């Protein structure tokens, strides 16, 4: 299933080498977490969530064939350098300090 999800997401994003998929098992439920770079997450979710819902639907169908329940989640992957964008509050405070 991980390879199946990776093939789908790799076609959608610009940097498929940065995609990671974590797999967890909880009783009869398989949870797949797609770790996607922050700048690519919008492509994976799609307008109104249409893309991720389609991915979830395909994963569920494949899971039914394997007699397992599947849940697909999407999260922003941590940047390699550990740097993050400033929050709006932080960005606003630097602008007011210079004014």
Question: Per-residue pLDDT tens for 27-82?
Answer: 889 999 999 999 999 999 999 999 999 999 999 999 999 889 999 999 998 765 54
Domain ranges across the chain? 2-80
Among the listed residues 26, 21, 40, the one whose alpha carbon sits nearest the alpha carbon of residue 79? 40
Topology of the domain comprising 2-80: GMP Synthetase; Chain A, domain 3 (3.30.300)
Predicted pLDDT at 77:
86
The helix or strand, by DSSP H or E, that contains position 32, with its residue range, turns out to be: strand 29-36
pTM, two decimal places: 0.75
Residues 6+ apart with CB under 8 A from 59: 1, 4, 5, 32, 70, 72
Place of tokens 């394997």: 66
pLDDT over 80 at 18, yes or no: yes
């Amino acid at each position: 299933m991980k390879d199946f999800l990776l093939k789908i997401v790799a076609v959608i994003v610009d940097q498929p080498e940065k995609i990671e998929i974590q797999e967890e098992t909880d009783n009869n439920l398989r949870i797949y977490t797609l770790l996607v770079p922050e700048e690519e997450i919008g492509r994976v979710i799609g307008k109104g969530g249409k893309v991720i819902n389609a991915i979830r639907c395909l994963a569920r169908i494949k899971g039914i064939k394997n007699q397992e329940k599947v849940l697909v989640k999407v999260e922003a992957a941590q940047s390699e350098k550990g740097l993050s964008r400033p929050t709006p509050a932080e960005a606003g405070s630097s602008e007011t300090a210079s004014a």
